[in-house]
């Protein structure tokens, strides 16, 4: 678990004394943060290097020849990430 997730778990214990039943929701949130952080670290730069300006130029030319859009590819990737984070957050009991 990350420092932030650990901190939330500690706060959850303190709040539980004041508001019984609330610690479970905060623990679920800490778990969700941990899952999001794990996902964010799934593609380290030493394994999947960042694209250079030249890489992006080549990418654009290849997609252009195939009558495709780099913007559409980027939007699809971002949509995948946003929906994945949303799915993790939906698992948090509210």
Q: Mean pLDDT across the stretch 57-81? A: 90
pLDDT tens column, 35-47: 999 988 888 999 8
- Of residues 34 and 20, more confidence is placed in 34
The structural domain count of the chain equals: 1
Of the pLDDT bands very low, low, confident and very high (cuts 50, 70, 90), residue 23 is low
Q: What is the mean pLDDT of residues 16-38?
A: 78
Q: What is the pLDDT of residue 80?
A: 94
User: CB of 31 within 8 A of CB of 5?
Assistant: yes
The parent domain of residue 35 ranges over 3-90
Q: For residues 48 and 50, what is the distance between their CA atoms, to the nearest angstrom?
A: 7
How far apart CA 28 and CA 25 sit, in angstroms, is 5
The answer on pLDDT for 32 being more than 80 is: yes
């Amino acid at each position: 678990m990350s420092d932030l997730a650990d901190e939330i778990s500690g706060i959850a214990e303190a709040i539980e004394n004041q508001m019984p039943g609330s610690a479970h929701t905060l623990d679920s949130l800490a778990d969700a943060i941990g899952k999001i952080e794990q996902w964010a670290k799934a593609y380290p730069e030493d394994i999947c290097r960042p694209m250079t300006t030249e890489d992006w130029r080549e990418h654009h030319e290849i997609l252009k020849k195939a009558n495709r859009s780099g913007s559409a590819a980027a939007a699809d990737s971002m949509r995948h990430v946003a929906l994945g984070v949303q799915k993790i957050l939906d698992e948090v009991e509210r």
